[in-house]
Structure 1
Amino acid sequence: MVMGAHMAMAKLMRAPTPASFITLFVAYLSCMVMLPFGSPMDSTTDALLKFKKTLQLGSKTEVLSNWDPKKNPCNGNTANWVGVLCFNGNVRGLQLENLGLQGKLDLEPLAQLPYLKTLSFMNNMLDGPLPDLKKFKKLRSLYLSYNHFSGEIPDDEFEGMHLLRKLYLANNAFSGKIPSSLTTLPRVFDVGLEGNKFSGQIPDFMQKDLKRLNVSQNELEGPVPQSLKKMDPSNFAGNGKLCGPPFQGACNPHSPPPSPPAAPPTTPAPPPKCTGDSCGTSKKPSGLKVALIVVSLLLLLALIAVIFMFLNNRKQRSELDGTESLDESSKYTAAAGSSQMDVKSVETNPHPKRADQGKLSFVREDRQRFDLHDLLRASAEILGSGTFGASYKALIMTDAVVVKRYKQMNNVGREEFHEHMRRLGRLTHENLLPLVAYYYRREEKLLVSDFVENGSLASHLHGNHNSDMPVLDWPTRLRIIKGISRGLTYLYSTLPSLVVPHGHLKSSNVLLDENFEPLLNDYALLPVINMEQAQHLMMAYKSPEYAQHRRITKKTDVWCFGIIILEVLTGKFPENYLKQSYDSKADLVNWVNGMIKEKRTSEVFDVEMGRVGNSRGELLKLLKIGVSCCEEDVERRLDLNEVVEKIEELYEGESDADYRSSVSSEGDDYTSQVV
């Protein structure tokens, strides 16, 4: 027994065999894997929740209620949390706009986010000094416009932010000098400092890629730097003490320059005086040498110019630019009605610059695939030229598509643009015209969607009516209004991070399918449209709130919807489409209110609706809704949910007795309330 025990003990104390060692090692690793390590997403969630605690939400306490610690902020490119921008499962930005945020903005918790590139807190009530940006060296875009920030910005505030491209600080109360560290940022190209209290002189911005620097409506003085004189003069308006070009008054010659030159020019020493007999002989060789040098320089410059033109032409040919072919197609179409899109310039280049050039990016799985060559070879018909570019109808096999060209879509980079297009491709609703595919090129973009046979609501309301175009009766118009309201509701619920989920709502962007159901078009493009073009062209920027306070809100789309309601009821074309800004004295709402004041409401409605029979009471109710949507005071304007609820209650008919009763009992009260 003792010997057996000793033998067993000896076996246990032997070195383990290789097989047993591997088994133990695997078991050890398994145990280690099971230990609770913190994931990067856990740290991201903690950082965002810490940041949320620093925010004063005012009356909108529930706006960030879905920031749930049990749910990841991002799921691939889709955000699970309101206001979070995602890419490949990482938080790329925050867009907390128009939420009524108050108090000081503390960005310290967000410094832990390694992939953070964009921050936007526009249209809030934040105050205090500019947040400390020293820890955000990778930030590309910062939007803080339309708040109440104040105080001076340290001169070195932006040092080291070499990736920053866009900075919007407009319409705050910043004071002091414009920080010179802004002039050292190599990639910045869009800076908005308008509507503040900046003083002193404008520093010299030497960035070659700087496209916009808006310092209007400040307290700046002195000359505009030479590097900025090619910019639009409106970027410097509202500074009473600026002088020199592009302004009329000349600058005081004793005033200091906006920034000291790197090296003062040296005055060349005067040539030695000619004396004696050498004067006549020395001048001729000197003049000959100068002439030879000048001719040589001119020949060299000409040679360089020829080489540059050759390389530039070769580069242009190497780029697969289908838009050139579309231009030729549109010219031929204007003369003959249709054409074959030419791809000769594409096919002659066997070596495209990038592997993906010429490739359409499809965002929907339920559409037949084709490439840019197919699109350009297709029979094309120009449909018209809108605010952002021309539209073409192309027949691909048996499917008709519409191609729209956009030249004002450089507001975001390549990655952000692809991400936003994929986001739009995921939108699915019976009252939205789906995006089918897009083509990316830095200079311009193509968006492809289905062709809608019945055209736009505007063409039916204001076009040249003929026997082939049916007149829209009252039931059809009411159905169109209800469809628009449902499409807007879907956009607001699906794109909560956008201030205006549509942004360009007008009757020409409401298409009608074969059943005259409305399809919203050109929606959710505001994030990718260049801001300057958006302010001149998009309907959201023609609203009264932008004219009065230089801001847009989530009720701006409601104002646009109200214009459409009045347009549908009256048949009149709204002048808001044509004007660059809102004019309360010359728009459709003013005319309707004038008719109501004069108690001529019955003359407001479009006679082309035909006999409305027992539906006149419903027309009056819809007129009330339309006028309430167009209230200049945003606080008094109806909310979208209220608008949709009221519209859904409308039906096609009521008795004439009910109509007369409703008019007599509430006509005077209605007039006083609306006007």
Structure 2
Amino acid sequence: MSPLKPLCLNYNKISYAQYFKAHFQLLSLNIPHLYSHSLYSHHLVMVHKREYCCYLLMLVLATYFMPSLGDTTTQALVKFKSFLSNADALNKWGDEAISVCSWVGILCTNQTFYGLRLENMGLSGNINIDTLLELPNLVSFSVINNNFEGPMPEFKRIVSLRALFLTNNKFSGHIPDDGFQGMRRLKRVFLAENGFKGHIPRSLAKLPGLLDVDLHANSFQGNIPQFQQRHFRVFSLVNNQLVGPIPESLSIVDPSSYAGNNGLCGKPLSQPCMRSTTPNFMLPHEEKENRKQRTLFTAITVMTVIVLASILTLIFIHFHRRKRAQHSTTVEEAQVKSYRSISTVSSESKSILVASGKSKKKNEDADFSFVRKEGKEFDLQDLLKASAEVLGSGSFGSTYKAMVLNGPVVVKRFKQMSNVGKQQFFDHMKRLGRLRHTNILPLIAFYYGKEEKLLVYEFAENGSLASHLHGRRGSKLDWPTRLKIIKGVARGLAHLYEEFPDQKLSHGHLKSSNVVLDRSFEARLTEYGLVPVVNKKHVQQFMCSSKSPEVSQYEKPSEKTDAWCLGILILELLTGKFPASYVRHGKGASEELETWVKSIVKEGWGGTGDVIDNELLVEKNCEAEMLKLLRIGMSCCEWSLENRLGWREAVVKIEELNVNDHDGN
């Protein structure tokens, strides 16, 4: 006998007609989750009619008194807020007159809650994971640009999470190696601009569905773990303390993703790894166990080197004496046959450019050409023997500062021009060499080789704009300087289009690292006009022009494509944020710098403090001009070509800007 039978004795005499009438009335109530209810599904057909009425009554009563989904979400959100500090922006949380989906920072779709976007609110306190677990359907969590401190909370407990944004807070310390274990649905991880240190968690690298990983501007150390994914929409490890070889799975990532990690080597960087260098994923206790073995191995290696050096010295002395005894008058004429590589012998950041091979000097000179007569005081031999310093490594190759007889020059090494013919290359380089403009870094000379090309430019004393915005600690650019820089960029871009009216991409690779600053902080464009001579596949994969919507989606550049790159540069200059997610667009594209800026402006989250670099906020009577430049940048980043500013309109609007607001407005 069923335990509910005594409760239903009064229903013994109901007819089957009444039974089925009650059944269909229940269905008409459209009670959520009724059809999956264990009692209902199990007894739907088999239960006796008198017991069915009892079950019916109990289900209706239970459903009526059960808290609704909205009530549960409301209670959990209010509880979550109670753990936060400086939460004035969330004052309307809990207001029963406003629906949950209308609260600030709540993400909903079709009036269904799915995430929190609590960005740029000055929040601090405790991110209570237990409370977040009470939120149904939580798949996205963002607290970008707040003041949360301490170790990263245990987000791994929220296994349904798909997107985690913690950028620009004060989180610190080690992330446990299992810090992301079990989060198989996680696709987007943004931990940039915090104080995390230690190894990158291997549990993060093992996640199968990662699309975006941004860890730039932390203090992560050690080797990069072997990520399962090979293709990312966003991937940045910029400005950490990582060392060792880059895993093979990450060898196709844009080299700029590894900038600021001087200890990294291997593809896609130009810095090769020593053969003995292998990935080290040992934990601290494992390293301690192997310390004695490493010490012994080092001692044996040193002794072997000493013995070999002694043997080589004796052999050298023997042949030298024999040569003198024979009074040989033969002199070996050593010349460079073809430029094979530039290798760096580092000593306190100083290097020597070394060329290998032998040939006649006249053939060598034929492939090394000056494009301007003034200041010619060196040849290829002088260049290759000059002391040099590595300035950086990008998607094209390495950049060096070389000290020749008449002062420093910049040497850029290119490997991605192998598909262009010699005469075409010579003609194009000479055309670039004829450019004369204050905001164009002059090309001095070039070298043509089958596998590699060298371009020699003048040296800019103050380095790249990117190094000031993101790399050099303590380097500050005030508003007048930044406005001067962007005006110089605009003028240089305009000159390129005037000189190359036949090209849709007169620059093609405009970004902050390709804007250098001279002694007076005048902007000078570099790596310009190279699209016609760079291998097409490399252009499509790495050059900034390929990141615009029309090129990434349809491979059809226009005259407004360089304007897109100019817009990104303007937003980077104003926000001070590194466009780490500046990668190929397309369907399902990740949130870019311009998308982030537009979302804040569209939602009206206050004044310039929401987007403008904090270093600029101290400037007085400049806010209106900054906002004008911000709007220009946003207009240059319109996805629609019809709505996007062209380079001419952008240059005119930029030239109209002033250091201070008109009449204080």
Return the TM-score normalized by structure 1: 0.47
TM-score by length of 2: 0.48
